[in-house]
């Protein structure tokens, strides 16, 4: 299987990027795929969610992007088939880099070159912004996974983000494979169904059919430092993510 490098991206905060990155990666690793997750958010929440608190000594993707470390030296094993690169405490400095022109957007892609030949998937958990870090993710990937909530304001945010992605497509002369996932879906709200209907109209065949339902359990997981698949494997949320992983592998869309 060819390596797939996927940016988990949405400029809007709190939509479920990190939760999706952690749990989808975990589910794919359980299925036997070799998966690496990269925490590209200075907040370091992906590391925390997988049981690696933001310890400042750990070398992370910051050192890799600054050209001080190879990716290989920064891989932390989370479980069989799953490894993590933490954000590192200097990632925020890279976000604020103002010199280097287009080159500062290409740090990640260059650092990745040939580093993941033994992997099936690399997921990049992006910060909720549209600065240098996100530019680096877009240089380094061909696929974008967009977590969405089922509310009205996220629809507005989405059209803004699609315009940003389009700009990158033109500048970099490539077309991203874009997939949407409803990552915080409240099945009892009418607005959720309305948002889903609008999304299906505007993004046909680009939405993963399994929705991740809103669940208090998912909000508890980062505090425990475990994916829901490890913490409560029999839960509804764990089932949602296992099903989502199958959709993702089989290329199922709606």
Ligand X SMILES: Nc1ncnc2c1ncn2[C@@H]1O[C@H](COP(=O)(O)OP(=O)(O)OP(=O)(O)O)[C@@H](O)[C@H]1O
3-state SS, residue 203: coil
Check residue 14 for interaction with ligand X (CB under 6 A). Answer: yes
Q: Is 91 within 8 Å of 40 (Cβ atoms)?
A: yes
3-state per-residue secondary structure call for 182-199: EEEECCCCHHHHHHHHHH
Among 19, 83, 154, 192, binds ligand X (CB under 6 A): 19
Check residue 232 for interaction with ligand X (CB under 6 A). Answer: no
Among 17, 34, 232, 242, binds Mg ion (CB under 5 A): 17
CB atoms within 10 A of CB 118: 8
Binding flags for ligand X, 171-190, as an x/- string (CB under 6 A)? ------------xx------
Check residue 87 for interaction with Mg ion (CB under 5 A). Answer: no
**Residue 47 or 150: which CB sits closer to Mg ion?**
47
Check residue 212 for interaction with ligand X (CB under 6 A). Answer: yes
Among 40, 215, 229, 244, binds ligand X (CB under 6 A): 215
**What angle (nearest 5°) sits at the alpha carbon of residue 45, between those of residues 40 and 49?**
120
Going by their DSSP bridges, the two strands 121-125 and 4-8 should be labelled as parallel
Check residue 228 for interaction with ligand X (CB under 6 A). Answer: no
Q: How far is the CB of 145 from ligand X (least distance, A)?
A: 12
Q: Which residues pair with 207 in a beta bridge?
A: 180
Check residue 41 for interaction with ligand X (CB under 6 A). Answer: yes
- Dihedral angle sign, alpha carbons of residues 188, 192, 194, 196: negative
CA distance 48 to 25: 15
Q: Residue numbers of the site for Mg ion (CB under 5 A)?
A: 17-18, 45
Q: Residue numbers of the site for ligand X (CB under 6 A)?
A: 13-19, 41, 45, 128, 183-184, 212, 214-215, 218-219, 222
């Amino acid at each position: 299987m060819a390596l797939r490098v996927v940016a988990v991206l949405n400029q809007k905060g709190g939509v479920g990027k990190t939760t999706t990155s952690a749990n989808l990666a975990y589910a794919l690793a359980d299925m036997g795929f070799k998966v690496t997750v990269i925490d590209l958010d200075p907040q370091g929440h992906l590391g925390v969610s997988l049981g690696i608190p933001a310890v400042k000594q750990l070398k992370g993707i910051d050192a890799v992007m600054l050209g001080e470390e190879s990716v290989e030296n920064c891989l932390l094993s989370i479980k069989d088939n799953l490894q993590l690169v933490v954000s590192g405490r200097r990632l925020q400095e890279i976000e604020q880099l103002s010199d280097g022109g287009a080159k500062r957007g290409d740090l990640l892609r260059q650092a990745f070159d040939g580093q993941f030949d033994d992997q099936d998937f690399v997921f990049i958990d992006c910060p909720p912004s549209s600065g240098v870090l996100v530019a680096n993710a877009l240089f380094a990937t061909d696929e974008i996974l967009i977590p969405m909530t089922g509310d009205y304001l996220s629809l507005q945010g989405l059209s803004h983000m699609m315009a940003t992605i389009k700009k990158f497509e033109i500048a970099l002369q490539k077309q991203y494979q874009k997939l949407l996932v409803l990552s915080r879906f409240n099945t009892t709200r009418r607005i959720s169904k309305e948002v889903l209907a609008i999304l299906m109209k505007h993004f046909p065949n680009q939405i993963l059919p399994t929705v991740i339902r809103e669940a208090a359990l998912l909000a508890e997981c980062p505090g425990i430092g475990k994916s829901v698949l490890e913490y409560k494997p029999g839960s509804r949320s764990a089932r949602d993510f296992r099903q989502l992983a199958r959709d993702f592998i089989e290329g199922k869309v709606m």
